[in-house]
C-alpha cells in the first residue's frame, strides 16, 4: 500500500476500490454464500449472519486472507485481532424500505478505546442502484456522537440506531461503488449508511471487523454478547480477551 493510501485513510477515514479477490476467487466465495443463503433463508441473510467465520470455512478464509491482513496491517499496525464478521445482504426492494441509517460502528460495540476497522468485501457488484455503502469523508474525526432512533422505514441496524439528521450533511455523502472481489475499508468512527436496493440485483457485502490487541470490550455489544476475538497476526501482549483458538487453519 502506498503512503498516499495511508494518508487518505488517516484524513478521510476510508479507502475504496481495493482490488483483492480475483473473479474466480470471488465467484467461489459467492457460490459458498449462495449455498449458505439456501440453507439459512433470505430473511436471516439480510443481517442475521454474524461471526459465522467460526463455522463456515469460506468466511474464515476471506477474513484471514494474507492479502487482506497485509492491507489492514498497513493501516492498523502489526498486531491484529479478528473481532467479528457480518454479512449485509440487501435484496431487490421495489418498495424501497430496507436501508442502513447513518451510524458509527463502534457506538454500540462496547469497546474501549472505541477503535476498530472494517473491510467490506463486495460479494456482488455494489453500486448506487443496488444500495452501495455511503460515507461522509472525514467524519471519523468528529468523535463519537449520540445516536437516536430512526423513524423511517426499515433500518437494518441492530437497535434501529441513527445519527440525528441535523448532524449529517448528506450533501457530502460519497458512494462506495465496488466490483465483486474489491473491498473498501472504513474506520469504526466514520459516519456511513446505505440506501435501499432499487435494482433487480442482490447486493451482498461481508464485513470483516478488526481491532488491535490494546482494545478491550468493557460492555456487552448491542446484541448482548462478547466478541469471540481471535489473534490472526502478530502478538497479543494485552490479553484483554479470553484465548480463542482458530476454527480452521489459516489459508495458505
Ligand X SMILES: O=C(O)CCC(=O)C(=O)O
Contacting residues toward ligand X, per CB under 6 A: 88, 100, 105, 118, 120, 133, 192, 194, 205, 207
User: Shortest Cβ distance from residue 206 to ligand X (Å)?
Assistant: 9
Number of C-beta neighbours around residue 181 at 10 A: 21
Residue 176 or 230 with smaller CB distance to ligand X? 176
Q: In what order do the strands lie in the sheet with 117-122?
A: 14-19, 182-187, 117-122, 203-211, 80-90, 230-233
Distance CA(114)–CA(163), nearest Å, equals 17
Residue 90 or 233 with smaller CB distance to ligand X? 90
At a CB cut-off of 8 Å and minimum separation 6, what does 70 contact?
1
User: Shortest Cβ distance from residue 132 to ligand X (Å)?
Assistant: 7
Residue 110 or 234 with smaller CB distance to ligand X? 110
Q: Burial letters for 209-229: b for 16+ Cβ neighbours within 10 Å, e otherwise? A: bbbbbebebeeebeeeeebeb
The C-alpha cell at 96 is 424501497
User: Shortest Cβ distance from residue 158 to ligand X (Å)?
Assistant: 10
Residue 9 or 120 with smaller CB distance to ligand X? 120
Residue 46 or 240 with smaller CB distance to ligand X? 46
Whether the ω angle into residue 204 lies within 30 degrees of 0, i.e. cis, is no
User: Shortest Cβ distance from residue 242 to ligand X (Å)?
Assistant: 25
Per the CB < 8 A criterion, the answer to whether 207 and 88 are in contact is yes
Per the CB < 8 A criterion, the answer to whether 79 and 233 are in contact is yes
Residue 194 or 229 with smaller CB distance to ligand X? 194
User: Shortest Cβ distance from residue 100 to ligand X (Å)?
Assistant: 4
DSSP 250: P
User: Shortest Cβ distance from residue 87 to ligand X (Å)?
Assistant: 9
Amino acid at each position: 500500500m502506498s503512503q498516499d493510501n495511508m494518508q487518505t485513510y488517516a484524513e478521510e477515514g476510508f479507502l475504496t476500490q481495493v482490488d483483492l479477490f480475483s473473479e474466480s476467487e470471488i465467484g467461489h466465495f459467492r457460490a459458498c454464500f449462495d449455498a449458505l443463503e439456501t440453507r439459512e433463508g433470505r430473511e436471516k441473510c439480510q443481517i442475521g449472519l454474524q461471526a459465522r467465520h467460526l463455522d463456515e470455512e469460506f468466511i474464515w478464509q476471506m477474513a484471514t486472507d494474507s492479502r487482506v491482513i497485509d492491507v489492514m496491517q498497513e493501516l492498523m499496525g502489526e498486531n491484529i485481532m479478528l473481532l467479528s464478521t457480518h454479512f449485509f445482504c440487501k435484496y431487490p426492494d421495489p418498495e424501497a424500505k430496507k436501508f442502513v441509517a447513518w451510524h458509527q460502528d463502534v457506538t454500540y460495540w462496547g469497546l474501549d478505546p472505541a477503535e476498530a476497522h472494517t473491510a467490506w468485501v463486495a460479494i456482488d457488484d455494489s453500486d448506487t442502484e443496488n444500495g452501495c455503502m455511503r460515507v461522509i469523508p472525514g467524519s471519523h474525526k468528529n468523535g463519537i456522537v449520540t445516536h437516536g432512533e430512526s423513524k423511517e422505514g426499515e433500518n437494518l441496524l441492530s437497535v434501529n440506531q441513527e445519527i440525528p439528521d441535523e448532524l449529517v450533511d448528506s450533501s457530502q455523502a460519497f458512494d462506495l461503488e465496488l466490483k465483486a472481489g474489491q473491498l473498501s475499508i472504513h474506520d469504526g468512527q466514520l459516519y456511513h449508511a446505505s440506501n435501499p436496493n432499487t435494482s433487480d440485483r442482490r447486493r451482498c457485502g461481508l464485513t470483516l471487523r478488526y481491532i488491535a490487541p490494546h482494545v478491550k470490550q468493557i460492555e456487552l455489544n448491542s446484541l448482548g454478547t462478547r466478541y469471540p476475538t481471535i489473534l490472526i497476526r502478530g502478538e497479543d501482549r494485552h490479553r484483554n480477551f479470553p484465548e480463542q483458538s482458530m476454527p480452521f487453519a489459516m489459508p495458505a
